[in-house]
């Protein structure tokens, strides 16, 4: 990211000219307007304003509102100028990001191919004779070609993951409702999500962190729960499909998937094969069952009234949905609920599931010859995710003679951070932390890494942040009892010394459990750190046991050749 926003914008427009891919865009903002906005941001940054996304150039899929720009959803007759931006977009703008324009898509976000648009088929970023993947085609290609730093897409059946896989980039699809969908033209309202594309996991996570959070404008938006899992274990347990569920992949793609599994094992994970049948059976309901009635509710009447400009395949899909009966819809919703129970049982004891993102990378000609069947195959491993209320991160996994290949880390609802952590093992990046409502907790003894009670933090889904030091207003005592542990006691400033500990990010629900289980004289209260911050931490209400302050920390005390007797 450039230090100067203006320079980054100039680079983006230069890249647009170099790549010559007009089919990416439905609306591209005038360069003069974007440069004027960039200059204003440069002035704000120079004045000392904190804008975490200053210099970030983004593209927005054209079914997501951006104030002042038309929203078409891929249908010219649907075009209308948005008066306000979707919450996800506005949060990026407020953080200093610049929207370059609105990107092409499969019409009304119905498709995984990127060719169902009257604005033209979006060609693949690396293989121009092959598809880009949809429906978020333009957003993914704009990122892959280096025009923008990140892009927003949507995902109902896989549109935030398939284009990522077929263009060699990262796609994050959060738990449903974590990113609000107000200002988004619905495709299938109950299962729509706003997603993020970027070339690196770090940038994708940064953008996701900015746009996540409930909104009063979206009644379906959700808060992170009090027991949110904040980290993957050091040795995560990963489920993978049994071999028979990978038979649709070519031998090259099966080898790439096996390599991804081996990569996880090399980094400490354990893997085990599971039955993917219930997941794949559930996936069929998204298009083959009565759930497609939601698509008709979203845009069916409009398509019937405006056949001009309609993509023939999209029109066929939505027309077929018109006759779906209410009782059939309710029955299929109940079937989805039962599949959720089956999926939860199959994933019990696992931290994540790894699947291929797509089984193939078809050419434009192959899609034109059989648009429905090819599209259906592309959703084999993606269509079930939103139905089952799962989250995931799609990452690149290699190239074959006939296109690109990717894998997706799939996790339970609200375990988004686990997906990011596991994906980081695959792409060799240090994972960033989503703002999921965790509380910083300082620990100084038996809860430290490698100590007897550390498992309580790990099993609660807590995350190690960093080593810390207290101010010099604390003394440490070795407490008597069956589990060796220290008591940290507050004293007058300068009457103690700085003590070593660790800072952990802890789910709020875990703090209540820790507090309820604390034996006397242990306490849970404010601890002053050497950097003058105050955080929650384990302390002691009165001095008890030998004073071991001189060691500077519990681990140094344990390593000492001789220790006071603690009883």
Residue 135 is among the residues annotated as catalytic for this protein: yes
Residue 557 backbone phi and psi in degrees, to 5: -65, -45
**Concatenated DSSP letters of 298-314:** IIIHHHHH--TT--HHH
* Catalytic residue (choose from 132, 139, 159, 471): 159
What count of other Cβ atoms lies within 10 Å of the Cβ of residue 464? Answer: 18
Sequence-distant (6+) residues with CB within 8 A of 548 are 476, 477, 478, 486, 557, 563, 564
Residue 132 is among the residues annotated as catalytic for this protein: no
Which tokens go with 458?
């790990």
Distance from the Cα of residue 323 to its chain's centroid: 36
d(CA 117, CA 108): 9
d(CA 284, CA 380): 9
d(CA 213, CA 169): 24
**Concatenated DSSP letters of 397-453:** EEEETTEEEEEEEEEETT-HHHHHHHHHHHHT-PPP----S-EEEEE-STTSTTSTT
In three-state secondary structure terms, 242 is coil
Which tokens go with 332?
């299929």
Distance from the Cα of residue 438 to its chain's centroid: 17
Helix then strand then coil, % of the chain, to nearest 5: 35, 20, 40
- Contact present, 407 and 357 (Cβ < 8 Å): yes
- Contact present, 418 and 390 (Cβ < 8 Å): no
Residue 102 is among the residues annotated as catalytic for this protein: no
In three-state secondary structure terms, 555 is helix
In three-state secondary structure terms, 79 is coil
Residue 118 backbone phi and psi in degrees, to 5: -70, -10
d(CA 284, CA 287): 6
Residue 322 backbone phi and psi in degrees, to 5: -60, -35
d(CA 373, CA 381): 15
Of 162, 64, 70, the closest CA to residue 111 belongs to 162
Distance from the Cα of residue 145 to its chain's centroid: 21
Which tokens go with 401?
């003679």
- Contact present, 63 and 188 (Cβ < 8 Å): no
* Catalytic residue (choose from 135, 136, 215, 221): 135
Would you name the residues annotated as active-site residues?
Answer: 61, 135, 159
């Amino acid at each position: 990211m450039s230090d100067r926003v203006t320079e980054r914008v100039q680079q983006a427009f230069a890249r647009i000219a170099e790549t010559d891919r007009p089919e990416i865009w439905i609306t591209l903002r005038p360069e003069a307007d974007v440069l004027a906005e960039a200059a204003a941001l440069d002035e704000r940054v120079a004045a000392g304003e904190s804008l975490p996304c200053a210099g970030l150039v983004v593209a927005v899929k054209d079914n997501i509102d951006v104030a002042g720009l038309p929203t078409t959803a891929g249908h010219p007759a649907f075009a209308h100028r948005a008066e306000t931006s979707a919450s996800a977009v506005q949060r990026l703008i407020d953080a200093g990001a610049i929207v370059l324009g609105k990107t092409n898509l499969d019409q009304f976000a119905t498709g995984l191919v990127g060719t169902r648009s009257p604005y033209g088929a979006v060609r693949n970023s690396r293989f121009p004779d092959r598809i880009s993947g949809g429906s978020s085609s333009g957003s993914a290609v704009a990122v892959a070609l280096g025009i923008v730093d990140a892009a927003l897409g949507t995902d109902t059946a896989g549109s935030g993951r398939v284009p990522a896989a077929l263009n060699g980039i990262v796609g994050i699809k959060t738990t449903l409702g974590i990113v609000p969908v107000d200002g988004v033209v619905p495709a299938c309202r109950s299962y729509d999500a706003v997603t993020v594309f970027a070339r690196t996991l770090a940038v994708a996570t940064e953008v996701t962190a900015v746009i996540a959070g409930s909104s009063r404008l979206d009644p379906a938006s959700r808060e992170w729960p009090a027991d949110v899992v904040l980290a993957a274990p050091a040795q995560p347990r990963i489920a993978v499909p049994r071999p028979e569920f990978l038979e649709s992949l070519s031998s090259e793609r099966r080898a790439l998937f096996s390599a991804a599994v081996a990569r996880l094992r090399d980094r400490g994970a354990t893997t085990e094969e599971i039955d993917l049948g219930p997941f794949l059976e559930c996936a069929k309901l998204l298009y083959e069952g009565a759930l497609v009635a939601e698509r008709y509710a979203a845009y069916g009447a409009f398509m019937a009234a405006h056949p001009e400009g309609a993509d023939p395949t999209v029109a066929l899909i939505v027309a077929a949905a018109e006759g779906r009966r209410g009782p059939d819809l309710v029955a299929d919703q109940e079937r989805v609920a039962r599949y959720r129970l089956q999926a939860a049982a199959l994933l019990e004891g696992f931290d994540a599931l790894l699947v291929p993102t797509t089984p193939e990378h078809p050419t434009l000609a192959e899609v034109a010859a059989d648009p429905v069947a090819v599209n259906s195959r592309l959703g084999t491993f993606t269509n079930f995710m939103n139905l089952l209320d799962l989250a995931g991160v799609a990452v690149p996994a290699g190239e074959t003679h006939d296109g690109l290949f990717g894998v997706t880390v799939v996790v339970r609802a609200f375990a988004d951070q686990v997906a990011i952590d596991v994906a980081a093992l695959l792409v060799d990046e240090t994972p960033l932390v989503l703002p999921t409502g965790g509380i910083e907790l300082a620990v100084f003894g038996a809860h430290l890494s490698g100590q007897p009670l550390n498992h309580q933090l790990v099993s609660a889904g807590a995350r190690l942040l960093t080593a810390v030091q207290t101010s010099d207003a604390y003394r440490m005592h070795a407490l008597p009892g069956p589990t060796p542990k220290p008591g940290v006691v507050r004293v007058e400033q300068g009457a103690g010394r700085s003590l070593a500990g660790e800072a952990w990010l802890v789910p709020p629900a875990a703090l209540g459990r820790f507090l309820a289980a604390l034996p006397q004289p242990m306490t849970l209260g404010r601890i002053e750190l050497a950097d003058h911050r105050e955080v929650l931490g384990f302390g002691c209400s009165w001095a008890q046991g030998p004073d071991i302050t001189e060691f500077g920390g519990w681990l140094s005390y344990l390593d000492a050749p001789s220790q006071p007797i603690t009883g």
